């Protein structure tokens, strides 16, 4: 009796902090979102969680502004974003907008192509221990398979007109796709000042690969409370907990 009760509980405790459950309050319901395949599956083997549970360069992190290292050599972000079709998908973990290979950023001399953007609530990264209402991740990848994720912290305020069509077309059913027949220019969702915090970390969903250049913009962008609630109605909490920096340093330009 006792062992039958203990085993599932121990499995659950072992995996807490790395498993992204669909309804985050129920940690015993083991649903795992795989960032690469976009599938949510159940009962994956524990060995598959090595990076998520044992990695030393995991994300997100709490950014402590008094411990930042200023680095004037950090590259400027050069964006090459075009007017792009807005196709929105509910992948059971978040709402994402997918893009073909027409958008990119350049960091130094390295080009990263935009794959998609998606949202988290509350923000995954904290600033001096505090969350923002939302965090938008623009996920880019270079030819070597490394990621550069441009993170925009968002707080309640004015309606965000650049994301108006996105928030008005959020698909609330699993795997649903909305082709808006509209176009979006991603430059419009960026703040004018692109100074940033930067550190090396991981994907925040399975398989938690440690190959992400995180670029968190310093300037917070506003979204209306109504826009925040539209997302929260579908995903009340899809943020991973923060992880220790260990020997990493967060730099700023």
Q: Hunting for tokens 């935009």 — which residue is that? A: 114
Does the protein bind Zn ion through residue 98 (CB under 5 A)? Answer: no
Tell me how far apart the alpha carbons of residues 122 and 155 are, in angstroms, rounded to a whole number. 10
The count of chain residues that interact with Zn ion, using the rule CB under 5 A, is 1
| Interaction residues for Zn ion, span 197-216 (CB under 5 A) | none
**Does residue number 240 form part of the binding site for Zn ion (CB under 5 A)?**
no
Minimal distance in Å, beta carbon 59 to Zn ion?
9
Smallest CA-to-CA distance from 202 within 211, 194, 193 is with 211
Q: Judged by CB, which is closer to Zn ion: 67, or 174? A: 174
- N-terminal to C-terminal alpha carbon distance within the chain: 58
The residue from 137, 140, 230, 243 that contacts Zn ion (CB under 5 A) is: 137
Stretch that binds Zn ion, among 14-22, 64-72, 135-143, 220-228 (CB under 5 A): 135-143
Closer by beta carbon to Zn ion, 107 or else 139? 139
User: At closest approach, how far in Å is the CB of 8 from Zn ion?
Assistant: 28
* Stretch binding Zn ion (CB under 5 A), from 19-27, 131-139, 180-188, 238-246: 131-139
Q: Cα 235–236–238 angle (5° rounding)?
A: 65
Task: Give me the residue label for tokens 């008094």.
Answer: 66
Give the count of alpha carbons within 13 A of 39, CB side only: 5
Cα atoms in the Cβ-side hemisphere of radius 13 Å centred on 167: 20
Binding site for Zn ion (CB under 5 A): 137
């Amino acid at each position: 009796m006792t062992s039958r009760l203990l085993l599932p509980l121990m499995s659950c405790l072992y995996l807490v902090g790395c498993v992204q459950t669909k309804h985050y309050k129920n940690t015993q319901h083991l649903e795992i979102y795989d960032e690469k395949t976009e599938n949510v599956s159940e009962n994956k083997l524990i060995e598959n969680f090595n990076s998520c549970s044992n990695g030393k360069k995991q994300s997100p992190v709490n950014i402590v502004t008094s411990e930042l290292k200023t680095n004037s050599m950090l590259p400027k972000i050069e964006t090459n974003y075009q007017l792009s079709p807005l196709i929105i998908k509910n992948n059971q973990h978040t709402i994402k907008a997918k893009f073909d290979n027409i958008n990119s950023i350049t960091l130094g001399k390295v080009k990263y192509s935009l794959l998609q953007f998606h949202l988290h609530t509350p923000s995954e990264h904290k600033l001096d221990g505090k969350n923002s209402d939302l965090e938008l991740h623009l996920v880019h990848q270079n030819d070597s398979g490394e990621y550069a994720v441009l993170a925009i912290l968002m707080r309640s305020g004015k309606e965000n007109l650049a994301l108006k069509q996105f928030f008005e077309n959020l698909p609330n059913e699993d795997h649903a796709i909305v082709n808006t027949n509209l176009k979006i220019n991603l430059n419009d969702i960026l703040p004018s000042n692109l100074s940033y915090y930067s550190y090396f970390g991981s994907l925040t969903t399975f398989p938690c690969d440690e190959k992400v250049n995180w670029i968190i913009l310093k300037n917070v962008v506003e979204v209306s409370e109504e826009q925040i609630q539209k997302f929260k109605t579908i995903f009340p909490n899809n943020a991973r907990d923060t992880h220790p920096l260990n020997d990493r340093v967060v730099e700023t330009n």
